[in-house]
Structure 1
Amino acid sequence: MPKVETFDKELVLKKAANVFHNKGFNAASMQDLVDATGLNRSSIYNSFGGKLDLFLECLKSYRDLFYTKVSKRLQNADNPLDAIERLFELYLDEIVSDKDDKGCFITNCTSEMANQNESIVSFLNANRTSFLEFLEELVEKGQEQSVINNNKSANEYALYLFSSIQGLRTTGILISNKNDLQIIIKTIIQTLI
């Protein structure tokens, strides 16, 4: 008979994600995870399969929570360009409120782990593909509504926006001045008009 989990999985993932987010995958030890989650090593292995599996679960949880924030933020957008502006405002809010300058967990993972593990690369590629499709759809609709120019294809603008978001997230670790970041965002948005 399988053992029943007697802990709050979401809370454990949040605590483990904080460890990974603060230290990165390579510097986080199993003891760090034990200390943060309150679980013993065998519980972590039995419930998650090990450090890498726990890390992937944390990434997925972080992604899902962020996509929920995105959905809420874009709910009342007037048009696709407004939705893109709201998306960048969400990133701006995240950067400004990040008092520890930790940056985005997934962006940090990309910097640290993109060339180290096939499972991580698979997750990052799937996340990138999904997000690019989302951005391309927004741009395409914006071009159809004439609120985004047709100087580039929807795919080209989606790639530009994805790269801009990654750059903004990384820049936000070093620059947290809201006005400076708003200038960057305004320049990105002006490219679409």
Structure 2
Amino acid sequence: MKTASTSRSEQTRRFIIETAAPIFNKKGYAGTSMSDLTTATGLTKGSIYGNFKDKNDVAIHAFRHNIELIFDFFSKELKTADTAMQKLLAYPRGFRKIHPMVLAYGGCPIVNTAVEADDTHPTLRKMSMDVLNRWKSGMVSLIEQGIVEGVIKSTVDAANTAEILIALMEGGILLSKVTGEESYFLNTIDTAEKMIMDLRRQQ
């Protein structure tokens, strides 16, 4: 049974994570200071350290929170689709829906973290890789399901196709964010949709 103090502690931890998540996403691990976190949360450094070991601990939980938001969103999008083809198309459709929010949030947490952590933060780099592998695995399963259903060509290389689709969608978001030109995002999403439609087996 949870005590009132335990519940308050969990609420405080959740508040810190949810407040810190967009800050780390926008400023990165190196660019986010403890003063950024104390200012945003209104808590003292001691209060934050009373709930987390250090800034690194906060960053890891913040990244997990950001990833949960993304996967929860796409999980709901995929549930609205029936066939494997429709579920694959739910990815570019979903990115169209959340693109303005992603930009306001500072970009996609997956690619933001992966780029910064590549040579600087082994733990976050591994977490980013795990997320990409999880996403790729899900798309490979959908493509293979489509082949079994007879709606996707049997000659399609599921792993290769999943990698290209992910690179297209993530790359479009990154370049759109960096340049401020939405055309990067729109062109890559259009290309991803066309690529998925081209997977269809001719009846």
TM-score grouping bracket, smaller chain normalisation: 0.7 to 0.9
If the length of structure 1 is used for normalisation, what is the TM-score? 0.86
Q: Per the alignment, do residues 168 and 81 of structure 1 end up closer, same or farther by CA in structure 2, a change over 3 Å counting?
A: farther
- Residue of 17, 30, 35 corresponding to 1:31: 35
- Residue of 62, 65, 70 corresponding to 2:66: 62
Does structure 2 conserve the Cα–Cα contact (< 8 Å) formed by 1:164 and 1:188?
A: no
Per-residue deviation at 1:169? 2.4
The letter for the 2-side match of 1:52 is: N
The letter for the 2-side match of 1:176 is: E
Alignment partner, residue 183 of structure 1: 190
Q: Per the alignment, do residues 99 and 157 of structure 1 end up closer, same or farther by CA in structure 2, a change over 3 Å counting?
A: closer
The letter for the 2-side match of 1:135 is: M
If the length of structure 2 is used for normalisation, what is the TM-score? 0.83
Alignment partner, residue 24 of structure 2: 20
Q: Per the alignment, do residues 179 and 88 of structure 1 end up closer, same or farther by CA in structure 2, a change over 3 Å counting?
A: closer
Give the Cα–Cα distance (whole angstroms) in 2 for the partners of residues 187 and 10 of structure 1: 40
Per-residue deviation at 1:98? 4.1
Give the Cα–Cα distance (whole angstroms) in 2 for the partners of residues 6 and 160 of structure 1: 40
Alignment partner, residue 125 of structure 1: 129
Per-residue deviation at 1:157? 1.7
Give the Cα–Cα distance (whole angstroms) in 1 for the partners of residues 136 and 187 of structure 2: 26
Give the Cα–Cα distance (whole angstroms) in 1 for the partners of residues 192 and 43 of structure 2: 42
Alignment partner, residue 140 of structure 1: 144
Alignment partner, residue 83 of structure 1: 87
Does structure 1 conserve the Cα–Cα contact (< 8 Å) formed by 2:140 and 2:158?
A: yes
Does structure 1 conserve the Cα–Cα contact (< 8 Å) formed by 2:13 and 2:51?
A: no
Per-residue deviation at 1:67? 1.2
Between 152-161 and 112-121, the greater mean CA deviation after superposition: 152-161
Q: Secondary structure at the match of 1:48?
A: coil
Q: Per the alignment, do residues 93 and 34 of structure 1 end up closer, same or farther by CA in structure 2, a change over 3 Å counting?
A: same
Unaligned runs of 5+ in 1: none
Unaligned runs of 5+ in 2: none
Percent identity over the alignment?
Answer: 21
> Is 2:153 the counterpart of 1:152?
no
Greater helix content: 2
- Residue of 52, 71, 75 corresponding to 1:71: 75
Does structure 2 conserve the Cα–Cα contact (< 8 Å) formed by 1:107 and 1:169?
A: no
The letter for the 2-side match of 1:36 is: A
1:31-71 deviation line (CA, Å, top 9, x unaligned)? 00111112211222231211111111011111112211111
Give the Cα–Cα distance (whole angstroms) in 2 for the partners of residues 148 and 68 of structure 1: 26
Give the Cα–Cα distance (whole angstroms) in 2 for the partners of residues 154 and 26 of structure 1: 36
Query: C-alpha root-mean-square deviation of aligned residues, in Å?
Result: 2.3
